[in-house]
Amino acid sequence: MTKNMIRKTIAAAALATLMFGSAAYAQQNPPVSPSPVKRTMIGKTEVPNSNFEVISAAVEIAPGFKAGRHFHPGSVQVQVTEGEFWIAIDGQPEKTYTAGQTFELPSKVIHNEGALGDKPMKLIAVYVVEKGQPLVNPVK
């Protein structure tokens, strides 16, 4: 075999390994379906004479699911409507909120959140964010 043929053989073997390895990984670690977080947009309103908008959403989190550390690019006003909501803001003690309780989350505060118990947790969230920004930004 020539050097060129050896290189092509090695490249083909590497590509096959990558393809089959990726397929096996995807089968062992498929995307979560259905999503443990369901966000249903209720409304969106532009704040006059500014670069901000107000977005309201109904959010449902599956029992026992924790979202991972993230932040929102604006302030968030929350009212829990069902279940138990757990939140851990970086540098603060963990808190739990239940149906009827409200709280506000300042802009870009890094936190983790989730649903406690064996039933889904539901809340209404009102986000005041810069136009065009994603509502959730993951943090490593």
Which pLDDT score, from 0 to 100, does residue 1 have?
58
Residues of the chain with pLDDT under 50: 4-32
Query: For residue 140, what pLDDT is reported?
Result: 84
pTM of the model: 0.71
| Torsion of Cα atoms, 11 then 12 then 15 then 19, to 10° | -170
Return the amino acid letter for 64. G
Instruction: Sketch the domain layout of the chain as residue ranges.
Output: 1-30, 37-138
Cβ-proximal residues to 15 (8 Å cutoff; 6+ apart), any chain: none
The predicted pLDDT at position 35 comes to 81
- At 132 the pLDDT is 87
The CATH number assigned to the domain with range 37-138 reads: 2.60.120.10
